[in-house]
Amino acid sequence: MTANPTAPILNLASDNVSGMSQPVLAALIAANAGPEPAYGTDQWTGKAEALLSTIFEHEVSVFLVATGTGANALALAAMSPPWGAIFCHSEAHVLDDECGAPEMFTDGAKLVGVPGVGGKLTVAALAPVVEHFTPGVIKSVQPAALSISQVTEAGTIYTLDEIRALGQFGQQHKLMFHLDGARFGNAMVSLGCTPAEMTWKAGVDVVTFGATKNGCMACEAIIFFNKAHAEAMPYRRKRGGHTVSKGRLLGAQMVGYLENDHWIDNARHANAMATALTEGLKTIAKVKLPWLTQANEVFVVVPKTASARLAQAHIRAAPWGSTSLPEGFSIGQDEQFLRFVTSFTTTRQDIETVLQTIAG
């Protein structure tokens, strides 16, 4: 099959438009040969689990699945009863972009959105919302979990101090703490910290460790730092249809992704491309950046003349909307809010092309 004639020349709308990076593909090809036992008992999955324990400096319970929505929904189901409240940002992916998957997998828990500038939760904003739900009062769903996205929906990043503060708040209110790491690598590289520092050392109980966007084809890990929390997960995963029978598909991708710090290289590259794009955008008149680029996403307001030029050049960004813009930041009638996402496949030439097209 040849290049897709209807596809954009340059698609920066999301980081799910690329295939696998070479080491991931190579691992999958290697894993394809020979028999392997099924349902995650293969050697590749075993290797992936061991690598994750090493990388997180903690014995972890790992559940590989093929989709981020599945991973998040299963993770939250392990953290909240059906009558629980799960607190997250009002624009969180789990709240707004998964067609109610968390409600399905939790059997009806309530996701409670809390607003915050730049897609970020703060303890100050959370506290009154959480305290509205009184433990023991039966009319009220019961506070159960806290979920943040790192990188956030707005492309921003929580500092370690911010995560720790949320972790402490969660502990005080007996909330399990979930980190949706669809872009875990990009966040970590941006912070310059270890996986452990960004998670269990900061109070996180469960991580959705995304690998798909940053080099795999379809691979996410649900990671528990406390085995007791994961006890029912084998049944939940199977029952959700997320236990892949030829489990090597997932194991091999994750091994190729993790070995030799490949995932870190990919994240570093994507972040660098986003930074280059941001730096370039800053130099273009009439272009406005609501938030600092901190990982591999660039949110930008451009004149509609510029977005028209992008369309004409078959360059795709995602039209965006947000209610978490900084105070005073507004978008005019003749302006367009866009999201660009870079990935391991983005080149400096791509960035140049985008910048030149916007500059006009």
132 binds its own copies (CB under 8 A): yes
Q: Reduced to 3 states, what is the DSSP secondary structure of residue 240?
A: coil
Is 349 near its own copies (CB under 8 A)? Answer: no
Q: Does 228 bind its own copies (CB under 8 A)?
A: no
Q: Which of 18, 53, 122, 171 binds its own copies (CB under 8 A)?
A: 18
According to CB under 8 A, which one of 161, 228, 245, 312 is a site residue for its own copies? 245
Q: Which of the ranges 9-17, 54-62, 150-158, 279-287 carries the binding residues for its own copies, by CB under 8 A?
A: 9-17
Residues 109-128 that bind its own copies (CB under 8 A): 109-111
Does position 36 bind its own copies by CB under 8 A?
Answer: yes
- Under rule CB under 8 A, residue 249 binds its own copies: yes
Which two three-digit tokens encode residue 174? 């007996």
Vertex 198 angle, CA 223 and 159, to 5°: 145
CA 334 to CA 28: how far, in whole Å? 47
Q: Is 192 in the site for its own copies (CB under 8 A)?
A: no
107 binds its own copies (CB under 8 A): yes
- Name residues whose C-beta falls within 8 Å of residue 274's C-beta, 6 or more positions apart in sequence: 293, 295, 296, 297, 298, 340, 341, 342
CB 237 to its own copies: min, Å: 8
| Rounded Cα–Cα distance for residues 48 and 293 (Å) | 31
Are the C-beta atoms of 72 and 305 separated by less than 8 Å? Answer: no
Measured CA angle at 186 (ends 78, 65), to 5 deg? 35
Alpha-carbon distance of 360 to 328, in angstroms, equals 27
360 lines the binding site for its own copies (CB under 8 A): no
339 scored as a contact of its own copies (CB under 8 A): no
Asked if 217 is part of the footprint of its own copies (rule: CB under 8 A), the reply reads yes
Among the listed residues 67, 159, 168, 171, the single contact to its own copies using CB under 8 A:
67
Distance (Å, rounded) from C-alpha 168 to C-alpha 268? 30
Among 63, 70, 305, 351, binds its own copies (CB under 8 A): 70
- CB-neighbour burial class of residue 41 (10 A; exposed 0-12, middle 13-18, buried 19+): exposed
Nearer to its own copies, 112 or 287 (CB): 112
Angle formed at CA 16 by CA 15 and CA 18, multiple of 5 degrees? 90
Separation of alpha carbons 110 and 147, rounded Å? 12
* Residue with Cβ nearer its own copies (103 or 335): 103
The binder of its own copies chosen from 161, 283, 312, 321 (CB under 8 A): 321
Instruction: Give the x/- contact pattern for its own copies in 136-175, rule: CB under 8 A.
Output: --xxxxx---------------------------------
Residue closer to its own copies (CB basis): 148 or 211: 211
Q: Is 61 in the site for its own copies (CB under 8 A)?
A: no
Tell me whether residue 149 or residue 163 sits nearer to its own copies (CB atom): 149
Contact between 42 and its own copies by CB under 8 A: the answer reads yes
Give every strand in the sheet of 318-319, ordered side by side: 297-303, 335-341, 318-319
Residues 212 and 45: their CA atoms lie apart, in Å, by 16
* Options 13-21, 155-163, 200-208, 295-303: segment touching its own copies (CB under 8 A): 13-21
For residue 96, state whether it binds its own copies (rule: CB under 8 A): yes
How many binding residues for its own copies (CB under 8 A)?
85
Residue 260, interface with its own copies (CB under 8 A)? Answer: no
Residues 147 and 182 sit within 8 Å (Cβ to Cβ): no
DSSP alpha helix (H) spans, 11-85: 22-32, 43-55, 68-77
Phi, psi of 101 (to 5 degrees): -55, -45
In the list 52, 55, 65, 130, the residue contacting its own copies (rule: CB under 8 A) is 65
Determine which residue in the list 89, 120, 183, 236 makes contact with its own copies, applying CB under 8 A: 236
